[in-house]
Chain A
Amino acid sequence: MLQLSGNSGTVEAPLATLVDLHKGDAGILDRIDLPGDDARRLMELGFLPGARVTAGLSAPGGDPRVFQVDGSEIALRRETARKLKVRVEKRKAPRTK
């Protein structure tokens, strides 16, 4: 399961985007910087503020990438994923930057 117990192992970080999530990383969605209708489509698929989004597998080259959200797996292109701001919740391995 991807559910974290409490805050153990959690590193609170400033706002990042879905693109910054590597495979296995999770983040809490903060906001969607897209026009109304596009944002609504994403929300209907589960990308709601407060939802936990986990980065999954991707097409070769890392774009588009599959994200697990609200029980579904949705693939987004990098250009869209960049517009979804998240609070990174878990890192698989420490990274620089």
Chain B
Amino acid sequence: MSACHDCNDCPSGGVVELSSGVPVKTVAVVGPPNSGKTTLFNRLTGLRQKVANFPGVTVEQHTGVVELPDGRALNLIDLPGIYSLAPRSEDEQVAYDVLHGRRADTPKPEAVLLLLDSTNLARHLMLAAPILALNVPTLIILNMADDLRNRGGHLDLRALAAQLGAPVALVSARSGEGIDQIFDFLAGTMAKPKPMELPILQDVPKCREWAGTVGSRAAYRAPLPPKWTRRLDGVFLHPVFGPLIFLGVVACVFETIFIAGGPVTDWMQGLFDKSGLWLETMLPASIFTSLLLEGVWRGVGSVVKFLPQVLLLFLFIGILEDSGYLARAALIADRTMAKVGLQGKSFIPLLSAYACAVPAIMATRTIENKRDRIATILIAPFMTCSARFPVYTLIIPAFLPNRGILGPFTQAAALLGLYVLGFVVAIATARILKSSILKSGRTPFLLEMPAYRWPTVQSLGLRLIDRSKVFLYRAGTVILLALVVLWVAAHVPTQNGHAPKIEDSLAGTMGRTIEPAIKPLGFNWKIGIGLLTSLAARETIIGTLGEIYGMDPESQKMDMQKALHSDLTPGGAVALLIFFAFAMQCFSTIAVVRRETGGWKWPALQFTYMSVLAYVGAFIAFHVIR
């Protein structure tokens, strides 16, 4: 093997050079799972990134723009985490196709950033051989430089670069150490060693042997095991304290969201109410002002006010995930989940589903076993998501005073009961699915335990911004549209140029048309209109009832909770709560299930199952309680 010590003038034998001066258009980031790809991608692109799916497959596509110090801009694609380039899983297939320029939707990358974990170099180097064999200019980035140093590891970068025939940079994506070298590479100003002919190895043991040899020739000394991770695991995986801490963490997450989130939500509501009144005085009274205030402002406000609470939940999940605790939680949860036929990895999506089923369903991608994954997707919408929360907190206090045996905790207990109900039905459903249509073969359960790390403010911040965008986008599109359509339907056909009485309007007619079907559940036509609009998104029912009550002279003066009393018996209220606990009223969830399962079969089955369950559950509740 030849060594090349002055690499500035090395010939480029066969390797396509980054021609300096001409901007590289697309650069791919490749690396095994847990190599810190997301952290690096966030550091390089910051806010200039977007998440989508590769068309036709369920693999997530992160793209972003990197701005070089000289002002040029590059497109960066973050490819899925892979251990090898052998295209077996969907993730590997996408990575393989993109790198070979075989996807019509993605240009062939003109350079590759290969990210490896320097604390586990020998194993991660296995991916270097197939990537370098692509003959695309590649920078090998060894991440976690700080960990390697602190734990007494060592490496001769120059020797490694010579061994691999590619430039090597030792960085810490978390702290930003060494990131300049990546910019140098992208700008085409980085020194390159002489290219090497690398062996093409399909066989894993041979590949590992090669990686080990390369590592030892580069004087690689593996770092000591992470001391703090061992110590923390001694506590978090302790036979007694481990499960207690686990339960404590889950309880703490919910407690904080409800206790701290409640006042913020009330404050947001006040903000929308006040600004609505202010707008009313500022704008001339007209049909459009009425649309703006009743349809748009109040309706969208009734959803947007929950943003702080949703973000709080995502913040918690982000901290748990980025710190590495979630992998331990999955380990502890595995045996319990196995009892209903699922596995520990289902725990993470199911916990996220308490915020929103959409990101939860996307998070099922970490489950390799396809049947386990589909079962998790199918039960995730039963978890009490943040859209059900406002519906519950509207109806419970309206019908259940804080009196009786439980005193001031009555309403909280009822709310908790609904959470438990959703969970129990989810578990029962999983059991049925896993012992029938989704009975799985034996795919081994493998869970890599990452070292504990401090979550970075940047990565948590980007996560929250991303979630806010999704949430506000929904409020501004699906929910807004549903409420505007409702407003129009409630104002036609006009009678002598005036809006009709609500029961004579188009919306009223539709409500009365479905009334016979929902009467057995204790719902009248007004609730019926709410059920129709909440098909788009659950929380829309609040804006809808607000609009209807606002138009009806009888209920205009009452607050919503009083007005509800004229439409629902206590039995009807319980039926409505149960209906919302079970029904799949969410366009976004249906869309994401279709996308993730690759067709209409599963979302159709899921929608039918949940609707039937909701109807039967509400029917029983109404007839038992009245």
Interface-facing stretch out of A4-12, A69-77, A89-97: A69-77
Cβ–Cβ < 8 Å partners of B224 in chain A:
1
Q: With A60-B242, A77-B444 in contact, is A71–B449 under 8 Å at CB?
A: no
Closest B residue to A77 by beta carbon equals B445
Within 8 Å by CB of B204, from A1, A43, A56, A59, lies A43
Per the 8 Å Cβ criterion, residues 587-602 of B in contact with A are none
Cβ contacts under 8 Å, A49 to chain B: 205
A58: chain B residues within 8 A (beta carbon):
237
Give B203 Cβ to nearest chain A Cβ, in Å: 9
- The residue on B at minimum CB distance from A64 is B334
- Taking a contact as CB atoms under 8 Å apart, the answer to whether B126 and A44 are in contact is yes
Mask: chain B, 440-464; 1 = CB below 8 Å from A; 0 = not: 0011111111000000000000000
A15 beta carbon closer than 8 Å to chain B: no
A48-B208, A77-B334 known; A42+B239 contact, CB < 8 A: no
If A37-B88, A46-B123 touch, whether A74 touches B332 (CB-CB below 8 Å) is no
Known interface pairs A44-B204, A48-B204, A48-B205; A60-B239 also in contact (CB < 8 Å): yes
Once bound together, how far apart are the Cα atoms of A49 and B209, in whole Å?
11
From known contacts A48-B205, A71-B222, infer whether A34 and B444 are also in contact, taking CB-CB under 8 Å. yes
Q: Does B288 contact A (CB under 8 A)?
A: no
Q: Which residues of A contact B522 (CB under 8 A)?
A: none
Count of B residues near A, CB < 8 Å? 36
Whether B335 pairs with A59 at a CB distance below 8 angstroms is yes
Contact A70 B237 (CB under 8 A): no
Contact with A along B189-203 (1 / 0, CB 8 A): 000000000000000
Docked Cα-Cα span, A77 to B443, in Å, equals: 11
Q: CA separation between A1 and B225, bound complex, in Å?
A: 8
Chain A interfacial residues counted at CB < 8 A = 34
Contacting residue for B448 out of A37, A48, A60, A74, CB 8 A: A74
Query: Smallest distance from the beta carbon of B346 to chain A beta carbons, Å?
Result: 14
B376 adjacent to chain A (CB < 8 Å): no
Is there a chain B Cβ closer than 8 Å to A13's Cβ? no
Residues in A whose Cβ lies below 8 Å from that of B447:
64, 74-75
In the complex, which residue of chain B has the Cβ closest to the Cβ of A61? Answer: B335
A68 CA to B443 CA in the complex, in Å?
A: 21
A40 and B225 alpha carbons, distance in the complex (Å): 25
Closest to B83 in A: A44
Interface residues of B in 331-350 (CB under 8 A from A): 331-332, 334-335, 338, 344
Contact with A along B105-142 (1 / 0, CB 8 A): 00000000000000110110010000000000000000
Q: Render B211-243 as a binary contact track against A, CB cut-off 8 A, 1 for contact.
A: 000000000001011000000011001010011
Shortest C-beta distance, B122 to chain A (Å), equals: 7
- Is B84 in contact with chain A by the CB < 8 A criterion? yes
Bound form: Cα–Cα A60–B241 in Å = 10
Interfacial chain A residues near B123, Cβ < 8 Å: 45-46, 70-72
Contacts known (A43-B204, A48-B204, A66-B237); A60 close to B243, Cβ less than 8 A: yes
Whether the pair A66, B446 counts as a contact (CB closer than 8 A) is: no
Least Cβ–Cβ distance between B388 and chain A, in angstroms: 31
For A79, the closest partner residue in chain B by CB is B442
A20 within 8 A of B: no
Quote the shortest CB–CB distance from A85 to chain B (angstroms). 15
Instruction: Check B331–A66 contact: CB distance below 8 A.
Output: yes
The listed residue with most A CB atoms (<10 A of its CB), out of B88, B208, B233, B446, is B446
A72 to B88, CA, bound (A): 23
B233 CB contacts on chain A under 8 angstroms: 56-57, 66
The answer to whether B444 and A72 have CB atoms under 8 Å apart is no
- Chain B nearest CB from A44 CB (Å) reads 4
Q: Which of A68, A72, A80 has the most CB of B within 10 A?
A: A72
Identity of the chain B residue whose Cβ is nearest the Cβ of A34 in the assembled complex: B444
CA distance A82 to B208 in the complex (A): 24
Residues of B near A45 (CB, < 8 A) are 83, 123, 446, 448
Q: Which residues of A contact B126 (CB under 8 A)?
A: 44
Cα A76 to Cα B334 with chains together (Å): 10
Interface centre among A48, A58, A60 (most CB of B within 10 A): A60
Contacts A41-B446, A44-B84 given; does A64 touch B204 at CB 8 Å: no
Q: Return chain B residues, CB-CB under 8 Å to A44.
A: 83-84, 126, 204
Asked whether, in the complex, the Cβ of A74 is within 8 Å of the Cβ of B120, the reply is: no
Q: Report Cα–Cα, A57/B222, bound state, in Å.
A: 22
Taking A38-B443, A57-B234, A66-B237 as contacts, is the C-beta distance between A72 and B120 under 8 angstroms? yes
Which residues of chain B are near A42, meaning CB under 8 Å? 444, 446
Q: Are A80 and B234 CB-contacts (below 8 A) given A48-B208, A59-B332, A71-B120?
A: no
A25 within 8 A of B: no
**A63 adjacent to chain B (CB < 8 Å):** yes
With A37-B88, A48-B208: A63-B335 Cβ-Cβ less than 8 Å:
yes
CB distance from A62 to the nearest CB of B (A): 9
Contacts of A63 in B (CB 8 A): 334-335
Q: Which of A26-54 contact B (CB under 8 A)?
A: 34, 37-38, 40-46, 48-49
* Residues of chain A within 8 A of B208, CB atoms compared: 43, 46, 48, 70
Residues of B within 8 A of A (CB): 83-84, 86, 88, 119-120, 122-123, 126, 204-205, 208, 222, 224-225, 233-234, 237, 239, 242-243, 331-332, 334-335, 338, 344, 368, 442-449
Beyond the given A43-B208, A45-B123, A59-B332, could you list 20 further A-B residue pairs with CB under 8 A, ordered by the A residue number?
Answer: A38-B443, A40-B204, A46-B123, A46-B208, A56-B233, A57-B237, A59-B237, A60-B242, A63-B334, A64-B331, A64-B335, A71-B123, A72-B123, A74-B447, A74-B448, A75-B445, A76-B446, A79-B442, A80-B444, A83-B444
Q: Which 5 A-B pairs have the closest CB atoms?
A: A80-B444, A73-B449, A44-B83, A43-B204, A75-B447
15 contacts between A and B (CB under 8 A): A34-B444, A42-B444, A44-B83, A44-B84, A45-B83, A45-B446, A59-B237, A59-B242, A63-B335, A70-B120, A74-B448, A74-B449, A77-B444, A80-B445, A80-B446
